[in-house]
């Protein structure tokens, strides 16, 4: 069983004024990557960013390529969409990583992909997998949960930077953070799709929607209903389906993935928040 330890009690003021003295490169400025980079912009002594689609730097210092971004950086942070994106971008910047560099991958890619990247690390480079739980608002306010896996010395070095993003959970060795993220997402996504089906049954049986939703919110599924009713969550259905597929679960996860398939088949609906799966 992995060693799962919470970092010391975290609150936003604990990192205010804490300077990151190393040059930091952030690669990937999507929904989550951009607010994370902004969190570091006032803390890192030097910050450079890169995104595959240009024009996303939003006032931050941008690089023309991944290799340019990581050159001279002591810490590299990646927040990319899936294992294929991480592999493609890493192939570009890996040769430019100097001994002593710490790579923190915050993408949700699963432990197998993390192991593949570990196997290709240049000499003297450490990798911490640190996917997060929480949405865009939590990223902007520094209130995410960060699941971190890696060697102890790498986690010790990564944790002060990760604390700018939220509460750090040290999960164990390499890949342990990525594994716990899939466990969490499998449970959350499956629960949301199950509630969606329950609401459909309520409609078929003539139970008023408001009554059904109130009853669900007042019971053991209160947390799931709070996620469904959230007005600031922004986690696309396609990424929820990606995480569920990476979890590679049994019949329940498979059924939830099938329930998401019609949404994923429509490019516009695939970008909607996961709550869409609840109807």
Active site residues: 181
Name the pairing type of β-strands 144-149 and 132-133.
antiparallel
CA angle 265, 85, 65 (to 5 degrees): 130
3-state SS of the chain: helix, strand, coil percent to 5?
50, 15, 35
Using DSSP, state whether 26 is helix, strand or coil: strand
CA nearest 136: which of 9, 276, 274?
274
Q: How far is CA 30 from its chain centroid? A: 11
Alpha helices, DSSP H only, in the chain?
A: 33-41, 66-70, 83-93, 110-119, 136-141, 152-162, 176-204, 209-217, 222-229, 237-247, 251-264, 267-270
CA distance 78 to 223: 30
The contacts of residue 51 (CB under 8 Å, 6+ apart) are 27, 28, 29, 30, 33, 57, 62
């Amino acid at each position: 069983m992995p060693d799962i330890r919470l970092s010391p009690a975290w609150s936003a003021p604990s990192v205010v004024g804490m300077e990151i003295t190393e040059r930091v490169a952030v690669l990937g400025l999507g929904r989550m990557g951009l607010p994370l980079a902004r969190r570091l912009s006032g803390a890192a002594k030097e910050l450079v960013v890169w995104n595959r689609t240009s024009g996303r730097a939003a006032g931050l210092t941008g690089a023309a390529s991944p290799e340019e971004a990581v050159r001279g950086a002591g810490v590299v942070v990646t927040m990319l969409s899936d294992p294929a994106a991480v592999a493609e971008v890493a192939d570009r910047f890996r040769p430019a990583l100097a001994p002593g560099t710490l790579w923190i991958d915050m993408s949700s890619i699963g432990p197998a992909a993390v192991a593949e990247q570990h196997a290709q690390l240049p000499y003297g480079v450490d990798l911490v997998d640190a996917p997060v739980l929480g949405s865009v608002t939590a990223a902007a306010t520094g209130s995410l949960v960060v699941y971190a896996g890696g060697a102890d010395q790498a986690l010790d070095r990564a944790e002060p930077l990760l604390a700018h993003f939220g509460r750090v959970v040290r999960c164990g060795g390499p890949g342990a953070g990525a594994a716990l993220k899939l466990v969490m997402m499998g449970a959350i996504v499956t629960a949301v799709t199950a509630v969606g089906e329950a609401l459909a049954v309520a409609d078929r049986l003539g139970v008023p929607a408001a009554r059904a939703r109130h009853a669900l919110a007042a019971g053991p599924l209160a947390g799931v209903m709070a996620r469904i009713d959230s007005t600031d969550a922004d986690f696309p259905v396609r990424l929820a389906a990606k995480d569920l597929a990476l979890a590679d679960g049994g019949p329940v996860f498979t059924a939830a993935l099938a329930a998401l398939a019609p949404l994923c088949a429509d490019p516009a609906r695939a970008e909607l928040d996961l709550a869409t799966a609840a109807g």
